Amino acid sequence: MAEQRERVLNYLSRSRFGNNDILFGTDWRQATPVSQLGAHPRGKVLANVDAHARVVLDKIVLAARAGGGFVEYQYSDTLASRAAGQGELRASTHSLGGG
């Protein structure tokens, strides 16, 4: 099982999903194993993310507990908001059943 997991993670780590899109997954060990941006390293523990990421991760957990789905979000990060440690985050959840 560990070998299969590592093969999937390696494949996804090499995949690209647009200019700035990030792909990450979670498991019950609370890790985000896959990412394409250096700011969100592979294997980062969910408890160590900032408040903006926490909003999205909470929606991912809710979607998973509901049987799966997609969480789409947009994050606007300007120099001013970055200096203030803030940014604007909008997230929406879509179930696998189309709802």
Residues 17 and 36: beta-carbon distance below 8 Å: yes
66 and 96 assigned to the same domain? yes
Residues 45 and 30: beta-carbon distance below 8 Å: yes
State the pTM of this model.
0.41
Give residue 8's domain range: 1-46
At residue 41, the pLDDT reads: 52
* Domain count for the chain: 2
pLDDT single digits (tens) 13-49 = 676 666 655 565 655 555 554 554 445 555 555 566 6
pLDDT single digits (tens) 49-74 = 667 677 777 787 777 777 777 777 76
Residues 92 and 71: beta-carbon distance below 8 Å: yes
The residue with greater pLDDT, 80 or 12, is 12
* C-alpha count within 13 angstroms, C-beta hemisphere, residue 47: 3
25 and 10 assigned to the same domain? yes
Burial of 60 (0-12, 13-18, 19+ CB in 10 A): buried
